[in-house]
A and B are shown apart, each in its own frame.
Chain A
């Protein structure tokens, strides 16, 4: 139990570090020195000290949005297994809860964006939801494929069961699932090639524009929530690759964190080498993920 709580606190503390890694990787490709690795911590600390300005046309939904989405994501991180150990909340079918918690977070973010009454945020919200229409089935199919493969429906049990690590006989399925998950991972976290986190042009923003009007503490919650969401979706990916070593809990944790850092580097490389897709092409991109996860699911039925 102590281990699990320690792991949970570790998640909460380490996740903003990954964004720093991504930015450093992108700076390396661009020939710059880049922001410090702990920049996101400094940003969150700065924002927590500031106060927010609320427009007269918003309601309680606007204030509730960041709070609810952050809490949903933190609860979701209670379900995710860390380094192959079991999570704090774990029961039959908890992957559906996980999925819907992510959906709840997205829902409230979009609601808060619509609540501002500005067409700017509304446009961002509609784009975000359009992508979600394609991304969520892909993610769900993927998890369903893994669940069908291992015969379990709890995330902890899926990632700790033997079949998932048995690449020798389930190789193609795991490869497809991994690839599809990576595509959805980039979409859910608003990374290139779906959405550029650095853009400031109104026609090209998707996620950034939804949270444009939030400031101060609210914005700190949003940034922190994005970092934890990156972590928990990434740990789905690394969970497929990571095989528990036999050196005990400490070494496992360190290896897992290193794998997550590696994932952040890979995301940085992808962001630097690919260009962002046209908005019309993003559904096609996500349909690729959906097809791959459908195939993985069909294969797992055998």
Chain B
């Protein structure tokens, strides 16, 4: 069983790296969905019996992250009509290397943490942390608002992965509540992007800089 766990974890990490270095938004959305499904499958890989609550939670996760979120995002993509991302801060190769650096950093951090490492593989917690960091980096470095939502979902994937490795089961109600929150968040963000596109004719968040405190003295305000 352990080897499947290792492969699953490595795939999650590889998906992070591919999303970091890819400029095609459709590919990013699909890969993020695959990552969400892989993360939701983790309880089944751990070699001990699975409670029904966990099964229900996993199935709901798979449906939401694998089907509903990509569908929502594709709808927004269709309305907004963009195909590719603009170069992120530093360029794609830098993002890729930074992704590897996140993994190295998470590995190093992991050596300081003490937890029961018996069940899962050695790589699980570092990959969870590096997914989290990758999500944050994508939000920071990308310019299109849609990619920022993808980064947010990758962030959630990392957190959920961390939770499912280290903690047994959450109460089903709490799981559902958290999932509902994320769903509504993505929904509201999608609507916001739609409005932004209608209002500004673009979804480059770097250009949303009308509200600021320092105004150039030459500008006549």
Contact between chain A and chain B defined by CB under 8 Å: yes
Query: Is the pair B3, A168 in contact by a Cβ cutoff of 8 Å?
Result: yes
Knowing A283-B93, A284-B92 touch, does A298 contact B104 (C-beta < 8 A)? yes
Contact residues in A for B122 (Cβ distance below 8 Å): 302
A298 to B103, CA, bound (A): 9
User: B197 contacts the other chain (Cβ, under 8 Å)?
Assistant: no
Q: How far is the CB of B157 from chain A (nearest CB, A)?
A: 18
Residues 265-302 of A at the B interface (beta carbon under 8 Å): 283-284, 287-288, 290-291, 294-295, 298-299, 301-302
Knowing A172-B7, A172-B9, A295-B13 touch, does A284 contact B107 (C-beta < 8 A)? no
Q: How far is the CB of A82 from chain B (nearest CB, A)?
A: 29
Stretch at the interface among B94-102, B161-169, B176-184: B94-102
A291 to B6, CA, bound (A): 18
Interface size counted on chain A using CB atoms at 8 A: 19
A73 to B122, CA, bound (A): 40
Query: Is the pair A171, B3 in contact by a Cβ cutoff of 8 Å?
Result: yes
User: B10 contacts the other chain (Cβ, under 8 Å)?
Assistant: yes
Contact residues in A for B100 (Cβ distance below 8 Å): 291, 294-295
Q: How far is the CB of B104 from chain A (nearest CB, A)?
A: 6
Query: Is the pair B96, A287 in contact by a Cβ cutoff of 8 Å?
Result: yes
Report A158-183 CB contacts with B as 1/0, cut-off 8 Å.
Answer: 00000000011101100110000000
Across the two chains, which residue of chain B brings its CB closest to A301?
A: B107
- In the complex, the number of residue pairs spanning A and B with C-beta atoms less than 8 Å apart equals 45
Query: Is the pair A284, B21 in contact by a Cβ cutoff of 8 Å?
Result: yes
Knowing A168-B3, A284-B92 touch, does A176 contact B97 (C-beta < 8 A)? no
Contact pick for A288, options B21, B103, B104, CB 8 Å: B21
Q: Which of A167, A169, A283 has the most CB of B within 10 A?
A: A169
Interface size counted on chain B using CB atoms at 8 A: 20
Q: How far is the CB of A182 from chain B (nearest CB, A)?
A: 15
Query: Is the pair B92, A171 in contact by a Cβ cutoff of 8 Å?
Result: no
Query: Is the pair A298, B107 in contact by a Cβ cutoff of 8 Å?
Result: yes
A288 to B10, CA, bound (A): 15
Contact residues in A for B6 (Cβ distance below 8 Å): 171-172
Across the two chains, which residue of chain B brings its CB closest to A291?
A: B100
Q: How far is the CB of B105 from chain A (nearest CB, A)?
A: 10
Q: How far is the CB of A17 from chain B (nearest CB, A)?
A: 35
Q: How far is the CB of B150 from chain A (nearest CB, A)?
A: 20
Contact residues in A for B170 (Cβ distance below 8 Å): none
Residues 123-176 of A at the B interface (beta carbon under 8 Å): 167-169, 171-172, 175-176
Contact pick for B96, options A169, A171, A176, A288, CB 8 Å: A288
Q: How far is the CB of B3 from chain A (nearest CB, A)?
A: 5
User: B17 contacts the other chain (Cβ, under 8 Å)?
Assistant: yes
Across the two chains, which residue of chain A brings its CB closest to B8?
A: A172
Q: How far is the CB of B216 from chain A (nearest CB, A)?
A: 36
Query: Is the pair A171, B97 in contact by a Cβ cutoff of 8 Å?
Result: no
A121 to B8, CA, bound (A): 47
A175 to B13, CA, bound (A): 13
Residues 2-29 of A at the B interface (beta carbon under 8 Å): none
Q: How far is the CB of A60 from chain B (nearest CB, A)?
A: 40
Contact residues in A for B97 (Cβ distance below 8 Å): 287, 290-291
17 A–B pairs (Cβ distance < 8 Å), ordered by A: A168-B3, A171-B7, A172-B9, A172-B10, A284-B21, A284-B92, A284-B93, A287-B97, A288-B17, A288-B21, A291-B17, A291-B96, A291-B97, A295-B100, A298-B103, A302-B107, A302-B123
- A-B contact sample (13 more), CB < 8 A, given A290-B97, A291-B97: A169-B3, A172-B123, A175-B7, A284-B93, A287-B96, A288-B96, A291-B96, A294-B100, A295-B103, A298-B103, A298-B107, A301-B107, A302-B122
Cβ-closest 3 pairs across A and B: A172-B10, A172-B6, A291-B100
Interface set of A (CB-CB < 8 Å, partner B): 167-169, 171-172, 175-176, 283-284, 287-288, 290-291, 294-295, 298-299, 301-302
